[in-house]
Amino acid sequence: MVRRVLPYAVPAVGLALALGAAVGGWGVGWSAAIGVAVVVLNLVSHGLSLGWAARISPTMVFAVGLGGFVARLATILLVLILLNRLPWFSAGAFAAAVVPATILLLVYEAGLLSGRMQANLWRITPTKDPHP
């Protein structure tokens, strides 16, 4: 999943920078670019942590998936709070870039995983009937 998304990361960050700079100047452009970069870095960390969890157990995949979702949201909020102290930073541009980038990423993830999740998680092996 991460390998399929990463080739689009640099153009997406560049597009956010260019659009933001065209609309409101370099501060807005950098704010938008940072927003997209945070979404991409969140995906990378989430994908790597899910890969690690998959080697352990399905329960761990669930825990990392659910906990990772909360951690991703908290990370975005923390970055927003920390960067909002800088004079050039635009919280509006950051949010305007994070929201569509996250939606596009979730749609892409859903498309990649569509139809494959259940087959990969469940293995049914035949067993002998205990009551013949």
Query: Residue 123: is its pLDDT beyond 80?
Result: no
Per-residue pLDDT at 121? 55
Whether the CA torsion 78, 51, 54, 56 is positive or negative: it is negative
Q: Which 3 state secondary structure label does DSSP give 126?
A: coil
- Whether 11 is covered by a domain: the verdict is yes
Single pTM value for the model: 0.78
Long-range CB contacts (within 8 A, 24+) of 106-110: 108/5, 109/1, 109/43
- Whether 17 is covered by a domain: the verdict is yes
- Whether 9 is covered by a domain: the verdict is yes
DSSP string, 18-87: HHHHHHH-HHHHHHHHHHHHHHHHHHHHHHHHHHHHHTT-HHHHHHHHHHHHHHHHHHHHHHHHHHTTST
- Whether 91 is covered by a domain: the verdict is yes
- Whether 131 is covered by a domain: the verdict is no
Q: How far apart are CA 98 and CA 17, in angstroms?
A: 13
Our count of domains for the chain comes to 1
Count of beta carbons in the 10 Å neighbourhood of residue 17:
21
- Whether 121 is covered by a domain: the verdict is no
Per-residue pLDDT at 5? 83
Query: Residue 18: is its pLDDT beyond 90?
Result: yes
Beta-carbon contacts of 29 under 8 Å, excluding residues fewer than 6 positions away, are 16, 17, 18, 19, 20, 21, 22, 93
Q: Which domain holds residue 74?
A: 2-113
Mean pLDDT of the chain: 86
For 30-70, what is each residue's pLDDT tens digit? 999 999 999 999 989 988 898 888 888 888 888 888 888 88
